[in-house]
A and B are shown apart, each in its own frame.
Chain A
Amino acid sequence: MNSAMLYALRDVAGVPSHPIVFLVLGVLTFALHIAAVHVMLGGTALALANAFSRNPMRRRLAAAMTTTAKIAVSVAVVLGVAPLLFVQVTYDPFWYTSNVLSAWWVVGFIVLLIAGYMALYFFYGRNHDLADPQHPVRSGWSLLASLALFLLVGFIMHVLTNQMLSPDKWMQWYAPNGVIDPRGHTLHDYNAWRFGFFIALAAPVTGAWLYAYRRYLAAGRQADAAYMQWVGTLAARLLNFGGIVALVFLGAWMASLPAGLSGFSTSPVVLLTVALLLLTVALPALLGQRLLQTSLGYAPFALGAVALIAVAALREVLRWSVLKGVYGYDVFTYPLHIDWYSNVLFFATFALIGGTTLAYFLSIAWKVGHTPQGQVYTPSPAIDRIGTAALWLIGLWLVQFFVVGFIVWAR
């Protein structure tokens, strides 16, 4: 597969903005997506590890993590749409080929993800009283099935991403020994270290999430000191041990890169990633008691999110390096067909409507979380004004849709 063939696979319509725009958005949205995936995996695993205990603290955590995981799946799915969109724009020759070569698994990804999510809901529905250790756990198998299915769909996604990077093997996979096999039954290529790294990261990210959870409870005076202490110890273990394991996997992944890319493992993006991950692991020790007593309790997760942006950038730079360095494909030469209206509409919608509405929604959710059960929360005038702005902005968006549309249609 030479570079002329790869360029021929590009979409003939070109791209409506410079490729760097899509790559940057891809990095940012992938970081958000993978953070939600890690909380989903970590939450499900913690629920599974603690649901069968008679210890009240463990059962309380299991209940909280079941709810967390349930919402995290939604968030992971919705946030995953964006990087999936952007990879199709910039790396269409690679993404589409990889998908077609394992088509059966691509369709399976959807079915298995629905099954995993349903299994989690099933467990949740069967165990509304999970926090009470006197109640037996029902249908625990569904929680195990859910975690197994989440890991399996993660592996499928890993393989699809990994296969993109090996155009020289595509023909052998599609037509082994010259005989076309169009069934797409096979997952052709994986890198255990890379997959292990992304899965292992779930531990430190969940540890950082637990610190935030603990701080949230402390701010709302919703838990006793013993539970806080226990959650803090668990968070520290996950962050420290999980962080080290993830770094070991990262090192092994970098060591497994082809000889031509040996310099990549000491490149600035890799060093920055390692530094940010280490800093995230060390941060709780540096902050000490302030983790529990001040809003700095959210800092490990915030810093972890920044570290995940570095991880996402590492992944993107590696992809660019492999495809440009080894296969001569330069994504930055994608023909441009700039469309300013759609560019402006997206960024305005993202910044104004997305920013305002989510600020309104999340402020209310946050405040309600700190309102004692049985009391009704009424937002402050300031929050109300954000809500009013959100309403007007979406209304304005609807009006422009029809006004512009009718003008174009009538022209």
Chain B
Amino acid sequence: MDWIGLYPTWYEPGVGSGWVVGIMATIHVLASHTSVGAAILFAYLAVLAYRRNQPQLLDYIRKYGMFLLVFSYVIGSITGPGIWFTTTVASPRGISALIHSFVWKWATEWVFFVIEVVGVYLVVYLAGRVDQRTHMRIAVIFGMASYTTMLIILGILSFMLVPGKEIWFTEGGYLNGFYGANTFAQLAMRTAFMFTMTAVVGGIVAARITDPAFKREISRKLAWLGIVSSLVGAALFQWYIRSLPETAHLVMDNRLPSYFQPAILTVLLGILAYFVMTLISSRTLVVWGASLATVSILLFGLWPEEVARESIRKPWVAGQYVYSNQVIGRDVPGMRIKSEIPLLESHGFLKTQVFLPDNLRVVTPDNMLKVGESLALTTCSNCHSLSNTGMRPLHSYFGNTTNVAEVEAYLRGALATGATLYMPMIPLKPEEAEALAVFIVNMKQPQAAIAHIQHKAALAQADPAATSAASFHEVR
């Protein structure tokens, strides 16, 4: 008998495991994009400082770098592995798929990451202690190494959504998985917006400059960087949208929160207005204003973006072969990967799942609710909260019905056959669908679920043999 290699499930009832990943990722994106953009900005300013003999630019690099040591190299460098940690517990087979395909890419990124961490200390602490030409060279190496980390992670992020080339499914090959239209579109868009973040966060440091002339100079540089990168980023966003797979467009059209587009548009216009304001008058560049702009990007720009990125991958979580509920939902001959759906269709979840107590492997009236709960944990809770809070509460997806048979019919119809586009195919056996339906109804109206269980128990008592054969037989 084969097993389905599903891990135990972590269920976080407050916000849901998906949002824990989202919160970590949002914070990391702000910190890491800012640091990569700042590294390139530092390289540019260091070159200017050397060529124009403007040592005060090094002072700004040093101060911005000191700020980044905490902002990006404490928070950013810890939340980076933090995304691994949170995805490990929320979606172990999803992160495993990425790790096993791109371990050498990540290892390569790690080399640049080491260079980056050593580099930032040198850029910050050696300003004024080495000759300007050497400092410029260190800054340029630091900037280039930083950007390579973004190049690498972008390919992996794109693969998460869709493998670069369709041919990857049949022929495999790491390059086919890594490079594609979405890789370059996403890279270009993020490169632009990373400079927007660099300019906004850089304002927090620039606002403290006491020399009015120098503050004006830095303020103008940051403002132009922010304006151009925001406009270019907005244009590249259209390219990125066009590079998305068709399923992603359907999800965007039908399933994204209504606040998504207005929030993105508002924050973009707001940030543009902010940069225009600081361009006109550097006196308007103040610490609280720049901090507010940074928080706005975090809450109204990056958070909706991360939520959308998670949503448009549905029903997959990685590479369009690992379902969001961790089941391998597709053959990938190029990687000798077999879909687990046929095995589930034959034997169901209860008989094939590694992490299931033996007392839940056969459905009875006594354990029906608990079996349903375990199935909800396994097949639903990655995307749907099993409580009233958190993301997409499960019970709210079945209208007003409290009829077990109606819920079961949906589970065995649209869900088990994979007829719902953005949902994984979940081939539940009849008794599994019934148990899951009882659990779902129990969340809405416990009396209805209990009545159903009592009814089944009465049937079993009246005719144990028939009931056993009809309803509670071994599913394998």
The residues of A with any CB-CB pair to B shorter than 8 Å are 1, 4-5, 8-17, 22, 25, 71, 74-75, 77-82, 84-86, 88-89, 92-93, 95-97, 99-101, 103-104, 106-107, 109-110, 113-114, 117-118, 121, 170-171, 174-175, 178-180, 182-184, 335, 337, 339, 341-343, 345-346, 349-350, 353-354, 357-358, 360-362, 364-365, 368, 371, 376-379, 384, 387, 390-391, 394-395, 397-398, 401, 404-405, 408-409, 411
Given contacts A394-B144, A411-B165, whether A357 and B73 have CB atoms under 8 Å apart is no
CB–CB A12/B337 < 8 A: yes
Q: Which residues of chain A come closer than 8 Å to B235, judged between CB atoms?
A: none
Given the known interface contacts A10-B5, A16-B104, A376-B129, the answer about A80 and B122 at a Cβ–Cβ threshold of 8 Å is no
CB 8 Å contact bits of B112-129 with A (1 = contact, 0 = none): 111101110110001011
Q: A174-B355, A346-B107, A354-B114 are in contact. Are A371 and B173 (CB under 8 A)?
A: no
Any A CB within 8 A of the CB of B164: yes
Q: Which single residue of chain B is at the shortest CB-CB distance from A361?
A: B118
B 105-149 contacts with A by CB, 8 A? 105-108, 110-115, 117-119, 121-122, 126, 128-131, 134, 137-138, 140-141, 144-145, 147-148
Q: Is B419 an interface residue (CB 8 A)?
A: no
Q: Choose among A14, A171, A178, A401 the residue that contacts B151 (Cβ–Cβ < 8 A).
A: A401
* Contact between chains at B110 and A82 (CB < 8 Å): yes
23 A-B pairs with CB atoms under 8 Å apart are A13-B100, A74-B77, A79-B114, A85-B110, A86-B103, A95-B88, A97-B7, A99-B89, A103-B17, A104-B12, A107-B24, A171-B357, A174-B8, A175-B356, A182-B8, A377-B131, A377-B134, A384-B134, A398-B151, A404-B175, A408-B175, A409-B165, A409-B180
Q: How far is the CA of A176 from the CA of B102 in the complex (A)?
A: 36
Binds A, one of B45-53, B90-98, B266-274, B465-473: B90-98
Decide yes or no: A409 and B184 within 8 Å by CB, A82-B107, A97-B7, A337-B336 being known contacts. yes
Name A's interface SS: helix
* B79-87, B201-209, B432-440: which lies at the interface: B79-87
With A171-B357, A354-B115, A409-B184 as contacts: A379 and B110 at CB distance below 8 Å? no
Q: Is B338 an interface residue (CB 8 A)?
A: yes
Choose from A16, A101, A364, A394 the contact partner of B100 (Cβ within 8 Å).
A16
Q: A100-B88, A107-B86, A398-B148 are in contact. Are A391 and B110 (CB under 8 A)?
A: no
Q: Which residues of A contact B172 (CB under 8 A)?
A: 337
Interface-central residue, A99, A170, A179, by most chain B CB under 10 Å: A99
A341 and B335 CA atoms in complex are apart in Å by: 16
Q: Is B374 an interface residue (CB 8 A)?
A: yes
Q: A97 to B9, alpha carbons, bound, how many Å?
A: 9
Asked whether any CB of chain A lies closer than 8 Å to the CB of B214, the reply is no
Given A107-B89, A339-B173, A401-B148, A81 contacting B104 (CB threshold 8 A): no
Q: Which residues of A contact B184 (CB under 8 A)?
A: 405, 409
Evaluate contact between B2 and A361: CB separation under 8 angstroms.
Answer: no
Cross-chain contact B3 with A5 (CB below 8 angstroms)? yes
Considering the chains assembled together, what is the distance between the CA atoms of A408 and B173 in angstroms? 11
Q: How far is the CB of A328 from chain B (nearest CB, A)?
A: 15
- Which of the residues A9, A22, A401 comes within 8 Å of B5, measured between beta carbons? A9
Shortest Cβ distance from residue B171 to the other chain A in the assembled complex, whole angstroms: 11
Central interface residue in A25, A85, A109, A341, by most chain B CB within 10 Å: A85
Task: Report chain A residues within 8 Å CB of B359.
Answer: 178
Would B179 and A342 count as touching, CB distance under 8 A? no
Are the CB atoms of B130 and A180 closer together than 8 Å? Answer: no
A-B pairs with the 4 shortest C-beta distances?
A342-B104, A103-B89, A8-B3, A103-B10
Pairwise interchain contact B174-A341, C-beta atoms closer than 8 A:
yes
Within 8 Å by CB of A409, from B92, B112, B144, B181, lies: B181
Contact of A387 among B111, B137, B151 (CB under 8 A): B137
* Bound Cα distance A29, B357 (Å): 38
Which residue of chain B has its CB nearest to the CB of A109? B85
Cβ contact within 8 Å between A364 and B138? yes
Chain B residues, Cβ within 8 Å of A379: 130, 134
A114 engages B115 (CB within 8 Å): no
The reply to whether the CB of B264 lies closer than 8 angstroms to some CB of chain A is: no
A107 to B78, CA, bound (A): 11
B99 at the interface (CB under 8 A from A): yes
* Interface contact A75-B117, CB-CB below 8 Å: yes
- Known contacts A180-B377, A378-B131: does B89 contact A85 (CB below 8 Å)? no
Whether A391 pairs with B129 at a CB distance below 8 angstroms is: no
Query: Is the Cβ of B103 less than 8 Å from the Cβ of A85?
Result: yes
Judging by beta carbons under 8 Å apart, are B106 and A85 in contact? yes
With a cutoff of 8 Å between Cβ atoms, the chain A residues found around residue B108 in the complex are 342, 345-346, 349-350
Verify if B291 is at the interface (C-beta below 8 Å from A). no
Q: Determine how close the nearest CB of chain A comes to the CB of B65; give it in whole angstroms.
A: 13
Whether B20 is near chain A, meaning CB under 8 Å from some CB there, is yes
Contact B3 A13 (CB under 8 A): no
List of A residues within 8 angstroms of B105 by Cβ: 342, 346
Q: Say whether, besides A12-B338, A89-B100, A357 and B110 are in contact (CB < 8 Å).
A: no
Name A97's closest neighbour in chain B (CB-CB): B7
What distance in Å separates the Cβ of A52 from its nearest Cβ neighbour in chain B?
A: 25
Tell me which residues across on chain A come within 8 A of B377, comparing CB atoms: 180, 182
> Are A361 and B138 touching (Cβ within 8 A)?
yes
In the complex, chain B residues whose CB is within 8 Å of the CB of A96: 7, 88, 92, 96
Whether B179 pairs with A409 at a CB distance below 8 angstroms is: yes
Given A96-B96, A346-B104, check contact A78 B77 (CB 8 Å).
yes
Q: Is the CB of A100 within 8 A of B179?
A: no
State how many angstroms separate the Cβ of B368 from the closest Cβ of chain A: 15
The reply on B284 being an interface residue by CB < 8 A is: no
State A113–B85 Cα separation when bound (angstroms): 13
B463 at the interface (CB under 8 A from A): no
Cβ A357 vs Cβ B141 within 8 A: yes
| Residues of B close to A361: CB separation below 8 A | 115, 118-119, 122, 138, 141
From B95, B126, B141, residue with most partner A Cβ within 10 Å: B141
How distant is the Cα of A71 from the Cα of B131 in the complex, in angstroms?
A: 24
B358 at the interface (CB under 8 A from A): yes
Complex Cα distance A117/B73, Å? 10
Of chain B, the residue at the smallest CB distance from A401 is B151
Q: Which residue of A lies closest to B151 (CB)?
A: A401
Name B134's contact: one of A5, A78, A378 (CB within 8 Å).
A378
Which residues of chain B are near A397, meaning CB under 8 Å?
Answer: 148
In the complex, chain A residues whose CB is within 8 Å of the CB of B328: 12
B 348-396 contacts with A by CB, 8 A: 354-360, 370, 373-374, 377, 381
Question: Known contacts A100-B7, A377-B131, A409-B184; is A92 also within 8 Å of B78 by CB?
Answer: no
> Which residues on the A side are within 8 Å of B128 (C-beta)?
376
Q: Is the CB of A180 within 8 A of B373?
A: yes
Contact of B20 among A16, A75, A107, A113 (CB under 8 A): A107
Q: A346-B108, A409-B180 are in contact. Are A368 and B130 (CB under 8 A)?
A: yes
Give CA–CA (A64, B130) in the complex, Å: 22
* B128 to A, closest residue via Cβ: A376
Shortest beta-carbon distance from A219 to chain B in Å: 18
Q: Which residue of A lies closest to B75 (CB)?
A: A114
Name the residue on A nearest B137 (C-beta). A387
B 1-34 to A, binary, CB cutoff 8 A, 1 in contact else 0: 0111101111111000100100010000000000
Tell me whether B104 and A339 are in contact (CB under 8 A): yes
Chain A residues with Cβ below 8 Å from B403 are: none
Residues of chain A within 8 A (CB-CB) of B74 are: 114, 117-118, 121
CB closest residue in chain B, given A85: B106
Flag whether B414 is at the interface (Cβ < 8 A). Answer: no
